[in-house]
Amino acid sequence: MIKISLSDIILDESIYPREKIDQKRVGVFAENIRDGFTFDPIDVQSHPELEGKYRILDGVHRWSAYKATGATEVEASIKDLAGTDPLLYAASRAIGPRQLTEEETRNTARRVFQNNTGLTSSDIGKAIGRSRQAVDLYIADLRAAVQWELDLKIYRLSRLGIPQDRIAKRLGLPRTTLESYLTKLPKLAISSKADLSRGFTVSQVTQKHGWTEPMVWSLALEGKDDLERFKQLNWGLRTWDQWDFNDCDHRFGDNWPGRIPAQLIAHILYYFSKHGVLVFDPMGGGGVTPDVCLAFHRRCWTLDMEDRPDTRPEIEPFYWELEGKGLPEILKAKEKPDLIIFDPPYFSKKAEDYQKESISKLLRKEYLKFFENFFTLMNQKTKKSTRLAFINADWRDFQNKPAADETRDDSILIDNYLKLLNKTGWLHTHIIQAPLSSERFSAGVVAAMQKKRILGVTSRYVVILNKGKPK
């Protein structure tokens, strides 16, 4: 027990189980204190965000009463909850003459479950003094929503061809639980499919059933050939080796720095892969590749250093090191990808947009070394027929220099990559132009560039490579 300054104690409403402070009770307590009555110490815990501060777990009325009397300190017991939800602890302490009302108990159960959907009804029930059945009723709708979200995640991951052991690990489920989920998957799609066949649009079905749009496309386009898929997505198919698209299609992928147009991925899939093949995206970012793979009936395994387990469980976390030593589970698997789609962050230009360990931050020499190691690893750990689609742009430090002053050492052009690719066993069959939009520069900037004889860059390429013929 120690004395803590009242001003270091904070009432955090997110862990307070009552609707409001009962001022009448505070008044009575304050009078008792003035009469010399001492109360039990209040319970606090160290504040998780504010150093040197505490938040109240139990004793809000006593704390308020001490403040009302002009006291500066209060006796407190500092609790270490060792993983127990603080709201649940606070609710379990709300005993005695002024118990929680029915509404407060119900709200507490719901808030606790929302904070930690892994808690069982009996855990919650024990803390708030209610039966498991009562808690089941309080949280039935929330549990159903969590269940539905989990069902949809499992459906999406398995539709992308992610093996069961990896799905179970990613979603923190025992393997046997996952297996029982998988048997009911086909039923999940019944009502969405029925709505599609009744003429509802993909975006209407997306909204109604809480699916992601690419998942609904994967249902809507089932059994169709690729040309029909392009047509239904309203994407014109490019016949020549210049793929220019005005903008990203916002139905695919998240708003992400360096997001690639979904149409570009679709063109790679169309020309260089077939239905059902396994695609691998080692730096998947906003998830355009898996989304387009869903719509085009390809399987897809994706990695990225940024982990977003709730919204993008299909993008498994992995950090590629400069020396390229660590190997992700994906490349240890028996099945090897048919097509790698590799869209790395550009050198330097986007460095601020990504986490600080991103390869964008490397020095020019290190950046190129990373690629050499990475291409070698991809060559060694895939199969003879694996193809690589490498997306990159020329990088020149043009913003600050007239064209005539630029030097070769200040730039990384596509031929730098081609040399590394050839050196590591990848032979290019196609260099497709997929220019970046020049609309990202305002008229004022363009006029200034012209005046200074600055030559901008819009060149972006999709280089297709294979490992050549077996010798």
Ligand X SMILES: C[S@@+](CC[C@H](N)C(=O)[O-])C[C@H]1O[C@@H](n2cnc3c(N)ncnc32)[C@H](O)[C@@H]1O
Q: Which of 438, 339, 354 is nearest to 389 (CA)?
A: 339
Using the rule CB under 6 A, is 345 a contact of ligand X? Answer: yes
Using the rule CB under 6 A, is 249 a contact of ligand X? Answer: no
Binding region for ligand X (CB under 6 A) out of 213-221, 233-241, 284-292, 401-409? 284-292
Q: Which of 80, 79, 62, 82 is nearest to 71 (CA)?
A: 62
Point out which residues pair with 10 in neighbouring strands. Answer: 55
Using the rule CB under 6 A, is 253 a contact of ligand X? Answer: yes
Using the rule CB under 6 A, is 286 a contact of ligand X? Answer: yes
Residue 328: count other Cβ atoms within 10 Å of its Cβ.
17
Nearer to ligand X, 354 or 426 (CB): 354
Nearer to ligand X, 191 or 355 (CB): 355
Nearer to ligand X, 256 or 270 (CB): 256
Using the rule CB under 6 A, is 371 a contact of ligand X? Answer: no
Q: Residue 206 Cβ, how far from ligand X at the closest point, in Å?
A: 19
Using the rule CB under 6 A, is 283 a contact of ligand X? Answer: yes
Q: Residue 462 Cβ, how far from ligand X at the closest point, in Å?
A: 12
Task: Please identify which residue in 41, 125, 337, 344 interacts with ligand X, judged by CB under 6 A.
Answer: 344
Nearer to ligand X, 304 or 394 (CB): 304
Binding region for ligand X (CB under 6 A) out of 152-160, 207-215, 298-306, 378-386? 298-306
Contact status, residue 181 vs residue 191, Cβ threshold 8 Å = no
Using the rule CB under 6 A, is 358 a contact of ligand X? Answer: yes
Using the rule CB under 6 A, is 260 a contact of ligand X? Answer: yes
Using the rule CB under 6 A, is 368 a contact of ligand X? Answer: no
How many residues touch ligand X under the rule CB under 6 A: the total is 21
Binding region for ligand X (CB under 6 A) out of 45-53, 153-161, 195-203, 304-312? 304-312
Binding residues for ligand X restricted to 413-452, rule: CB under 6 A: none
Q: Residue 101 Cβ, how far from ligand X at the closest point, in Å?
A: 48
Using the rule CB under 6 A, is 58 a contact of ligand X? Answer: no
Q: Residue 241 Cβ, how far from ligand X at the closest point, in Å?
A: 21
Nearer to ligand X, 187 or 365 (CB): 365
What residues contact residue 288 under an 8 Å CB cut-off, 6+ apart? Answer: 248, 252, 253, 259, 260, 261, 262, 265
Using the rule CB under 6 A, is 290 a contact of ligand X? Answer: no
Nearer to ligand X, 43 or 343 (CB): 343
Euclidean distance between CA atoms 418 and 427, whole angstroms: 8
Using the rule CB under 6 A, is 304 a contact of ligand X? Answer: yes
Contact status, residue 155 vs residue 188, Cβ threshold 8 Å = yes
Q: Mark residue 161 as left, alpha or beta (left: phi above 0; alpha: psi -120 to 50; beta: remaining).
A: left
Contacts of range 362-369, beta carbons closer than 8 Å, 24 or more positions apart: 362/322, 364/409, 364/412, 366/322, 367/412, 368/412, 368/416, 368/420, 369/322
Task: Please identify which residue in 148, 270, 271, 319 interacts with ligand X, judged by CB under 6 A.
Answer: 319
Nearer to ligand X, 155 or 374 (CB): 374
Using the rule CB under 6 A, is 288 a contact of ligand X? Answer: yes
* Pairing verdict, β 42-46 and 54-58: antiparallel
Euclidean distance between CA atoms 450 and 453, whole angstroms: 5
Task: Mark 207-229 as b/e (b = at least 16 C-beta within 10 Å).
Answer: eebebbbbbbbbbbbeeeebeeb
Residue 238: count other Cβ atoms within 10 Å of its Cβ.
18
Euclidean distance between CA atoms 305 and 76, whole angstroms: 43
Handedness of CA 354, 355, 359, 362 (dihedral sign): positive
Binding region for ligand X (CB under 6 A) out of 39-47, 280-288, 411-419, 453-461? 280-288
Q: Residue 214 Cβ, how far from ligand X at the closest point, in Å?
A: 13
Binding residues for ligand X restricted to 168-197, rule: CB under 6 A: none
Using the rule CB under 6 A, is 259 a contact of ligand X? Answer: yes
Point out which residues pair with 73 in neighbouring strands. Answer: 5
How far is C-alpha 22 from the geometric centre of its chain's CA atoms? 42
Euclidean distance between CA atoms 82 and 76, whole angstroms: 18
Task: Please identify which residue in 214, 285, 290, 337 interacts with ligand X, judged by CB under 6 A.
Answer: 285
Q: Which of 225, 241, 248 is nearest to 430 (CA)?
A: 241
Q: Residue 318 Cβ, how far from ligand X at the closest point, in Å?
A: 6
Which residues of the chain form contacts with ligand X (CB under 6 A)? 253, 256, 258-260, 283-286, 288, 304-306, 319-320, 343-345, 354, 358-359
